[in-house]
Amino acid sequence: SRQARALDSADPDPLAGELAARLLDERVTVADEDIRRAVGVYAREYRQTAEPSGALALAAVLSGRVRPAPGPVGVVLSGGNVTADAGGRPALTTGRETPRAPGRWAEAAAQAQAAE
């Protein structure tokens, strides 16, 4: 995906793959346009900023790739690592480079905090 670049990894975390295989009922893919739509829905309807990778769950539901059972549905919104364009709308770009190495988020957060 060109939108969900945060999920690209040349070296995926084996633990994440193991947990996904054990806990997920299914895996689906969504188109970039579905991801952009989900980011927009979060912004317009909920006044929340989601990075594209963090909007995948909503994109899967809105696109019809996942059909939840009747009743209340919860999806996880994560990531606010986006910048705003001149009109104040979320731009689909990352605001900070993060390491592409599993288990290094704490280190990246510490470096970012030290730089501020």
Provide the 10 A C-beta neighbour count for residue 42.
19
Give the pLDDT of residue 113: 66
pLDDT in single tens digits along all 116 residues of the chain:
677 777 777 777 888 889 888 988 888 999 999 999 998 998 888 888 888 888 999 999 999 999 988 988 888 787 766 665 544 455 544 444 544 555 555 665 666 667 65
With CA atoms as reference, report the closest residue to 100 among 11, 19, 17. 11
pTM of the predicted structure, to 2 decimals: 0.62
